[in-house]
Amino acid sequence: MRLYIGLPSTTVRSLAAVISVIMIFGITLGLTIPLIAIVLDSQGHSSGAIGLHASVQFLGIMLASPITPRLLIAVGASRLMILSMMAMTLIFFTFTVFTGFMPWLLLRLLLGGIEGIIFISADTWISQVVPTTRRGRAIGIYGTLLAVGVATGPLLLELTGVEGAVPFLTGGALTIIPLVILLFALNIAPHVRESSRRSPWKMVKTVPVAVAATMLFGFLDAAAFGLLPIYGLSLDFSPLTSARLVTFLILGGVVFQYPLGWLADHTDYRRLLVICAAISATAMLATPLTTDLAFLFYGLIFITGGMIGGFWTIPLVVFGENFKDYELASINAAAAILYGMGSVVGPSLLGFSMIVSPHGLMIAMAGPTIVLVFFAVTQLPRGGRSA
């Protein structure tokens, strides 16, 4: 692949390690989120309760984010991710022992905290190790393979089913694989060093559109993952077909992340985010009109997923361009907190939007996306490319 041509072998190995880890992590994420939603629905819980349940997982991300930069300095990226994957394996197996709404609520809080540590560590790792001129493409590949992993997760439900311990045991077994991969990257992972200690919130003000997009990504991504299966069930789709809606959403990310990363290397990120937001809002608003036209319905879900994915990929490129070392970890942590805030609010609010009509989900998702269009337009530079 041209991305790797001319790079030192240690850089290639480091890139391969973090990309492989994030792909396998994505598989487990894509497996569990629709699985828990479907199981809770089968137990008779409302869409609002299921949305609130999903929100707790993202609350865990918020709680773990502020301490992660210090952990990266003290422990190191690869060792921290090894410990996090070990904890995740244990949590997956525990899902099979303690069942029910409230025990799973606590487990999802713990799972979210571990996920936050892994995401911030991986995002900081890849932004540090790749050269500036190739950052967008590298992050595009990183995002693509994460999307491949997450898209694969719901498909595994067709092999494991949605009942009993097997799907959770499968997720737990998969988390063991990154432990082996990370053992070969102990000495080549980038080090997060002490640097200037600007307030993360001051750094946020230097790239407000990128940070706003990250928060919107949390709002939409968490809601879509947690509630698209419920949306499908409300349209009288089968449970497995409903779970497949998440797969189409993530397949959009598989196709679009590398092109968006390439564009982020060559154009102003605010203009790119305006385009992504405008296209995704249009697709969301059109989706309820096409429920009887399978090709268009799944196509619009696909496009929505690709554009929503840009709300994470593009800001990650921006953060790598503007911040280094501890500041890079800190801005990633601040973005993760805002992502978590959006993720907590998103499933809860949008879950209740489906009470009147299942199509309320897509309409409610389009609203804040349109707001991002107008906010990004006000921040557009008059000429050239700037941060």
When the pLDDT of each residue in the chain is averaged and rounded to a whole number, the result is: 83
Q: Do residues 88 and 114 make contact, with C-beta atoms less than 8 angstroms apart? A: yes
Percent of the chain scoring above 70 in pLDDT: 94
pLDDT score of 197: 65
Structure tokens at 138: 């590298």
Rg (CA), the chain: 19
Q: Do residues 194 and 73 make contact, with C-beta atoms less than 8 angstroms apart? A: yes
Q: Do residues 141 and 86 make contact, with C-beta atoms less than 8 angstroms apart? A: no
Helix then strand then coil, in percent of the chain rounded to 5, is 80, 0, 20
Task: Name the CATH superfamily, with its identifier, for domain 2-378.
Answer: MFS general substrate transporter like domains (1.20.1250.20)
> Which helix (H) or strand (E) covers residue 44, if one does?
none
Predicted confidence band at 387 (pLDDT cuts at 50, 70, 90)?
Answer: very low
pLDDT in tens, 179-224: 777 877 777 777 777 666 677 777 888 888 899 999 899 889 878 8
* Least confident among 36-40, 47-51, 81-85: 47-51
pLDDT score of 28: 80
DSSP characters over 84-148: HHHHHHHHHHHHTTS-SHHHHHHHHHHHHHHHHHHHHHHHHHHHHHS-GGGHHHHHHHHHHHHHH
CA 296 to each of CA 199, 221, 225, 229, 299: distance values in angstroms, whole numbers, following the listed order: 46, 21, 20, 18, 5
Q: What is the mean pLDDT of residues 94-107?
A: 89
Q: Give the Cα separation of 214 and 61 in Å (integer).
A: 14
Closest CA to 111 of 31, 29, 167: 29
pLDDT score of 384: 45
CA 312 to each of CA 8, 140, 297, 360: distance values in angstroms, whole numbers, following the listed order: 27, 10, 24, 24
Res 252 pLDDT > 70: yes
Res 2 pLDDT > 70: no
Q: Give the Cα separation of 144 and 142 in Å (integer).
A: 5
pTM: 0.80
Structure tokens at 129: 């190790």
Q: What is the mean pLDDT of residues 57-74?
A: 86
Burial (Cβ within 10 Å: 0-12, 13-18, ≥19) of residue 83 = middle
pLDDT score of 3: 53
Comparison of pLDDT for 231 and 194, the residue scoring more: 231
pLDDT score of 268: 84
pLDDT score of 305: 92
Res 386 pLDDT > 50: no
Q: Give the Cα separation of 358 and 369 in Å (integer).
A: 19
Residue 236 gets the label, from left (phi > 0), alpha (psi -120 to 50) or beta, of: left
pLDDT in tens, 7-28: 567 777 788 788 878 888 788 8
Q: Give the Cα separation of 21 and 81 in Å (integer).
A: 9
pLDDT score of 235: 83
Q: Give the Cα separation of 361 and 349 in Å (integer).
A: 9
Res 254 pLDDT > 90: no
pLDDT in tens, 287-346: 888 887 878 988 999 999 999 999 998 998 888 888 887 888 888 888 888 887 887 777
Q: Do residues 327 and 195 make contact, with C-beta atoms less than 8 angstroms apart? A: yes
Res 141 pLDDT > 80: yes
Res 6 pLDDT > 60: no
Res 112 pLDDT > 90: no
